[in-house]
């Protein structure tokens, strides 16, 4: 009842199997001869490095759509504002500005306090002093520019 | 701002303050667990008569009561240290503001734009008492801002509670702190270092708004 094709299969099968097994054994031997580092270490390194590139695609999103805003120089320019160079506003640069501040000569205003009688006069006195101080500072700055 | 009868912190308005609130809650959970455990033990010892007179040594018990406090302290100390260093961290600020404390007002300078003003307490019955100022500071929302704080006379302290900021203004010294406001609104603070007779009358008024409003504000100075 067997067809011709089936008969051929039955005849050829043992030879085919032994050939296939030999091929597999050769492949296994070749695989065994590869150093262990190349078999496990290299794929691991490739996975870690490749993984970071893969994750980059997703990590980028949080920078692309981040919430924090920044002062856009073009926007400032359009508004007619000039932003100082960031190196001029570091803590070191600002310290250079404030280190000459006269902190030893200040007058202690003793009161009366705001809620006490005449307290509002104290506020006015403070405001006047502040205005005088500001004027002094502006004059000093102007003088500095003229000297330069 | 803090309200009448408020029992907890003000709502957080910066990531740092959020973290501070989490840390507070975390510590409170640990502390309440310890107190409950001790109370239960204390009461059970008072009311129960089952005292083991023959208990002379127990190595396992000693190991447990040595390790437990150590672990508890680690659980509190580690998040605390993390937060402490996070608060000091500077993340490439976009805006710098110089703040000078005076007896009894604050001077502000937007160092990036060379403009400055003084801020006095507003003494009006229509406004919030003791926390409104005549000149308010503007800072754009979601922007890293660096505050450089110093004083011209005595020690003051610049504070905005809802942002987790409290920095001493010390004459001859410049302190740095970062601000990252995460929502718009008006935020209030007061000088937090006794600085003289009118210490209670030098409030801080901070307006957080979007970038356009900030630019318009700077233009108006």
The domain that holds B147 is classified in CATH as 2.60.40.420
Residue B78 domain-assigned? yes
Q: Which of A138, A141, A69 is nearest to B215 (CA)?
A: A69
Pair (B105, B23) in one structural domain: no
Mutate to test the interface with A, among B103, B175, B195 (most CBs of A within 10 A): B103
B105 touches chain A (CB under 8 A): yes
Residue A40 DSSP SS3:
helix
Same domain, B30 and B100: no
**Closest residue on chain B to A99 (Cα):** B172
Phi, psi of B47 (to 5 degrees): -100, -15
Q: CB–CB of A114 and B211 under 8 A?
A: no
**Domain span holding position A122:** 113-148
Residues B111 and B133 in one domain: yes
> Of A97, A110, A126, which to mutate for an interface test with B (greatest number of B Cβ within 10 Å)?
A126
Which 3 state secondary structure label does DSSP give B53?
coil
Q: Are residues B131 and B152 in the same domain?
A: yes
User: Is B68 found in the same domain as B33?
Assistant: yes
Residue A76 within any structural domain of the chain: no
Smallest CA–CA distance, residue A62 to chain B, in Å, is 14
pLDDT in tens, B89-147: 887 888 999 999 998 899 999 998 888 999 999 888 888 888 999 999 999 998 999 99
Residues B139 and B208 in one domain: yes
| The domain boundary residue, chosen from A46, A64, A82 | A64
**B59-88 and B15-47 are packed helices; what angle lies between their axes, rounded to 10 degrees?**
160
Q: Does A120 touch chain B (CB under 8 A)?
A: yes
Q: Do residues B84 and B113 both lie within one domain?
A: no
Domain identity same for B121 and B35: no
Question: Are B103 and B28 found together in one domain?
Answer: no
Domain membership of residue B141 (yes or no) is: yes
What are A26-68's pLDDT values in tens digits? Answer: 999 999 999 999 999 999 999 999 999 999 988 888 777 777 7
In a domain, A49, yes or no: yes
- B8 in a structural domain: no
Question: Given its phi and psi angles, is residue A82 left (phi above 0), alpha (psi -120 to 50 degrees) or beta?
Answer: beta
Residue B5 lies in a domain: no
Entry pTM: 0.77
In a domain, A106, yes or no: no
Task: Please give the pLDDT value at position A113.
Answer: 78
* CA closest to A98 among chain B residues: B172
- CA gap B138, A87 in Å, rounded: 22
3-state SS of chain B: helix, strand, coil percent to 5?
35, 30, 35
Answer yes or no: is A40 within a domain: yes
Is B9 part of any domain? no
Asked whether residue B112 falls in the same domain as residue B64, the answer is no
Q: Which domain holds residue B78?
A: 15-48+56-88
B59 and chain A in contact, CB less than 8 A: no
Residue B209 lies in a domain: yes
Partners of B171 in the β-ladder: B151
CB proximity B197 to A under 8 Å: yes
Does one domain contain both B105 and B65?
A: no
- Picking from B149, B54, B71, B51, the residue whose alpha carbon sits closest to that of residue B109 is B149
Measured distance CA(B125)–CA(B131) in Å, rounded: 12
Whether residue A105 lies inside any domain: the answer is no
> How many distinct structural domains can be found in chain A?
2
Does the residue B10 lie in any domain? no
Question: What does the pLDDT look like over B9-66, one tens digit per residue?
Answer: 999 999 999 999 999 999 999 999 999 999 999 998 888 877 777 888 889 999 999 9
A106 in reach of chain B (CB within 8 A): yes
SS3 content of chain A, % helix, strand, coil (to 5): 70, 0, 30
ipTM reported for the complex, 2 dp: 0.79
In this structure, is residue A4 part of a structural domain?
Answer: no
Residue position matching structure tokens 């000149």: B135
Q: Does A103 touch chain B (CB under 8 A)?
A: yes
Is residue A54 assigned to a domain?
yes
Closest approach of chain A CAs to the CA of B198, in angstroms?
6
CB contact under 8 A, B171 and A101: yes
The Cα B80–Cα A120 span in angstroms is 44
Tens of pLDDT along chain A (148 residues) come to: 567 888 888 888 888 899 999 999 999 999 999 999 999 999 999 999 999 999 998 888 877 777 777 787 788 888 888 888 888 888 999 999 888 888 888 887 777 777 778 777 888 888 888 898 889 888 888 888 888 7
Q: Do the Cβ atoms of B121 and A120 come within 8 Å?
A: no
In sequence order, which residues have a C-beta less than 8 Å from that of residue B106 and are 6 or more positions away? B99, B100, B118, B119, B133, B156, B158, B202, B204
Residue B125 forms contact with A (CB below 8 Å): no
Q: How many residues does chain A have?
A: 148
The string of DSSP letters for B90-158 reads ----SEEEEEEEETTEEEEEETTTTEEEEE-B---TTSPTTT-BSS-EEEETT--EEEEEEESSS-EEE
Residue among B68, B84, B79, B8 at smallest CA distance from B33 = B68
Cβ-based burial of B107 (10 A; exposed 0-12, middle 13-18, buried ≥19): buried
Asked if residue A126 belongs to a domain, the reply is yes
* Residue at B185 is within a domain: yes
CB B130 within 8 A of CB B190: yes
Q: Which residues of B183-207 are buried (b: 16+ CB within 10 A; e: fewer)?
A: eeeebbbbbbbebbbbbbbbbbbbb
In Å, the largest CA–CA distance within chain B is 83
Asked if residue B74 and residue B29 are part of one domain, the reply reads yes
State the total domains in chain B: 2
């Amino acid at each position: 009842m067997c067809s011709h094709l089936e008969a051929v299969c039955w005849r050829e099968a043992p030879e085919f199997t032994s050939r296939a097994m030999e091929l597999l054994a050769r492949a296994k031997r070749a695989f065994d001869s590869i150093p262990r580092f190349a078999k496990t270490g290299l794929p691991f390194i490739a996975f870690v490095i490749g993984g970071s590139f893969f994750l980059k695609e997703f990590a980028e999103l949080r920078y692309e759509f981040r919430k924090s805003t920044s002062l856009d120089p073009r926007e400032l320019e359009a508004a007619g504002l000039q932003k100082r160079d960031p190196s001029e506003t570091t803590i070191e640069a600002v310290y250079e500005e404030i280190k000459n501040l006269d902190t030893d000569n200040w007058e202690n205003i003793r009161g009366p306090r705001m809620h006490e009688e005449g307290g509002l006069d104290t506020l006015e006195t403070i405001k006047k002093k502040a205005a005088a101080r500001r004027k002094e500072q502006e004059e000093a700055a102007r003088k500095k520019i003229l000297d330069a | 701002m803090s309200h009448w009868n408020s029992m907890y912190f003000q709502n957080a308005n910066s990531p740092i303050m959020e973290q501070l609130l989490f840390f507070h809650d975390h510590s409170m959970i640990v502390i309440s667990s310890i107190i409950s455990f001790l109370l239960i033990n204390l009461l059970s010892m008072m009311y129960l008569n089952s005292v083991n007179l023959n208990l002379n040594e127990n190595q396992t018990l000693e190991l447990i009561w040595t390790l437990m406090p150590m672990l508890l302290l680690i659980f509190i100390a580690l998040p605390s240290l993390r937060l402490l260093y996070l608060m000091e961290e500077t993340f490439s600020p976009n805006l710098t503001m110089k703040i000078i404390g005076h007896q009894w007002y604050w001077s502000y300078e937007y160092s990036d734009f060379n403009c400055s003003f003084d801020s006095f307490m507003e003494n009006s019955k229509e406004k919030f008492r003791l926390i409104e100022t005549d000149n308010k500071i503007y800072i754009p929302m979601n922007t890293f801002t660096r505050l450089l704080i110093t004083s011209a006379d005595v020690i003051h302290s610049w504070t905005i509670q809802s942002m987790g900021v409290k920095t001493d203004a010390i004459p001859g010294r410049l302190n740095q702190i970062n601000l990252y406001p995460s929502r718009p609104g008006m935020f209030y603070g007061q000088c937090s270092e006794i600085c003289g007779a009118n210490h209670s009358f030098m409030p801080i008024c901070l307006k957080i708004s979007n970038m356009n409003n900030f630019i318009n504000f700077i233009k108006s100075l």
